[in-house]
Amino acid sequence: MGREVVLHLPFAGRSLVQMSPARRVPSHGTDLMGSRYAIDFVGVDAEHRLAAVTDWRTYLGTEPPERFVSFGRPVLAPCGGEVVATCDGEEDHEARRSPITLLGYALTQASRVRAGIPAIAGNYVTIADEASGAFITLVHLRRDSLRVAVGTRVRVGEVLAECGNSGNSTSPCVHVQASDRSDFRSAVGVPLTFHSFREWHTATTSSTRHLAVPDERTVVEPVPPPAG
């Protein structure tokens, strides 16, 4: 396929890392749809909170996606290349932090897989990475927020869309994956790594990492790569 898949973080600000391939592979427990090395980023505020509001719905019900830090945050191109596939128009559904609602959602997982790609990916953008030859897909985007179309050439850091809660997502997040082709039905996942980022393992302890995969449950923020 060519050179190693090296990406920039697709957001500004801080995000919680979930389903990291640094923890396990396949990261999401499946190789389906090219997701073997996928990683999720959930936006947090300066205090590393997913949302500023916590109430009875947090523990017993579902929550509007608008209350989460991630929702509506710009999603940036993690690489340069050409947009080869998009999906828009899928609904942003209610978010879930409650163990009660998460269990119920897990029980419907098989039906979403049977429903096909839109039910799993929701709204997405796929870019043919000009550096590696891989196909980079960003998933769970906000409905009607896409700023690019098939054939658009994008640069690193260009705004593609907004973070949403479409598809198979329990709260607003950006799911990033690399694969050997753009067709999810036959795609094989490809390992990825990220340019420079700051990583917090605790609220007060952080370090800068280069060409690495963030660890599970850490908080990360992009920083400029080292000179040279």
CA distance 48 to 88: 29
**6-24 per-position pLDDT tens digit:** 999 999 999 999 999 999 9
pLDDT in tens, 94-147: 998 888 777 766 666 666 666 668 788 899 999 999 999 999 999 999 999 999
Helix (H) or strand (E) holding 104: helix 99-106
Q: How many residues does the chain have?
A: 228
* Residue type at position 51: A
Q: How far apart are CA 124 and CA 146, in angstroms?
A: 8
β 5-7/62-63 pair status = unpaired
What CA–CA distance (Å, rounded) separates 70 from 80?
Answer: 23
Please give the Cα distance from 174 to 15 (Å, whole number).
Answer: 10
Mean pLDDT for the stretch of residues 155-176? 96
Q: For residue 79, report the phi and psi dihedrals to the nearest 5 degrees.
A: -160, 170
Predicted structure pTM score: 0.93
Superfamily of segment(s) 6-222: Glucose Permease (Domain IIA) (2.70.70.10)
Burial 116-144 (b: 16+ CB within 10 A, else e): ebbebbbbbbbbbbeebebbbbbbbbbbe
Residues contacting 138, CB < 8 A, separation 6+: 10, 75, 78, 124, 125, 160, 161, 174, 175, 176
